[in-house]
Amino acid sequence: MDVLIFSLAFTFFVVANPVGNSPVILALIQDFDYQKQKKIMFREAVLALLLALFFQFFGELFLGLIQVKSYALTYCGGILLSLVALSMIFPTPPEDVKQMKREPYFVPIATPLIAGPGLMTVIMAKSQEMTQWWVITVAIVLAWIPVTLALVGSPLMQKVLKRRGMVALEQLMGMILMLISVEMIVSATMMYLNS
């Protein structure tokens, strides 16, 4: 049972992909100072955890009630991320100071980047397989320890990369995010056509 919990936790960690996502997230919050960035990261990690736990218990029920199929969930993630990716590749100059300092809240960091459609689907699938619900809960919480650490630690990267590095990183990560999102849209289309 112990091994199972760890393997589940590892799966959740890999699907949430905080290490792969942290450059993207960092590029999104590069305008804030170091302390603020750490705070934002921690908050988003907590929000993502809450969302993951919500989906473990009520995901199936909720999506069933509002009659949303799983391909719609994947489409949703894909479309949102592609919009974020486009705004990273073609950054528009902020209209005013207030606009520039607007914090990302929940969307797009907590969801769909960390607790995205992929993670939600995996959690729902795994909780159908398991008879004891607490195994999944423990695994999610366990997975969230490295997830949170990876997120909170990532602002360090900005200190290393400096301003120019961050601009390059934003472009590069925009491209990678676009790939991820298009992949989501493609796989959602496959699911939709097969249904």
Partner 1 sequence: MTLLSMTLIFFLMMDPLGNVAYFIEVLSHIPHKQQRWVILREMLIALGVMVFFYVIGDLLLDFLEVSDASVSLTSGTILFLVAIKIIFPNSRTSRARMHGDFEPFIVPLAIPLIAGPAMLATVMLFSHKFGPQVLIPILIAWFLASMVLVMSRHLMKTLGRNGLMAIERLMGMILILLAIQRFLEGINLFMTSV
Q: How far is the CB of 7 from partner 1 (least distance, A)?
A: 30
Q: How far is the CB of 124 from partner 1 (least distance, A)?
A: 14
Residue with Cβ nearer partner 1 (16 or 51): 51
Q: How far is the CB of 4 from partner 1 (least distance, A)?
A: 31
List of residues contacting partner 1 (CB under 8 A)? 47, 51, 64-69, 71-73, 75-76, 79-80, 83, 87, 95-96, 98-99, 102, 105-108, 111-112, 192
Residue with Cβ nearer partner 1 (17 or 82): 82
Residue with Cβ nearer partner 1 (111 or 127): 111
Q: How far is the CB of 39 from partner 1 (least distance, A)?
A: 11
Specify the DSSP class assigned to residue 15: H
Q: Please report, as a single letter, which amino acid is at residue 3.
A: V
Tokens 């993207």 -> residue: 24
Question: Cα(34)–Cα(55) distance, rounded to whole angstroms?
Answer: 32
Residue with Cβ nearer partner 1 (10 or 54): 54
Question: Cα(134)–Cα(127) distance, rounded to whole angstroms?
Answer: 10
Backbone angles phi, psi at 107, to 5 degrees: -100, 135
Q: How far is the CB of 174 from partner 1 (least distance, A)?
A: 15
3-state secondary structure of 26: helix
Helix (H) or strand (E) holding 169: helix 155-194
Question: Cα(70)–Cα(60) distance, rounded to whole angstroms?
Answer: 10
Tokens of 40: 């934002």
Residue with Cβ nearer partner 1 (51 or 177): 51
Q: Do 22 and 150 form a contact (C-beta atoms < 8 A)? A: yes
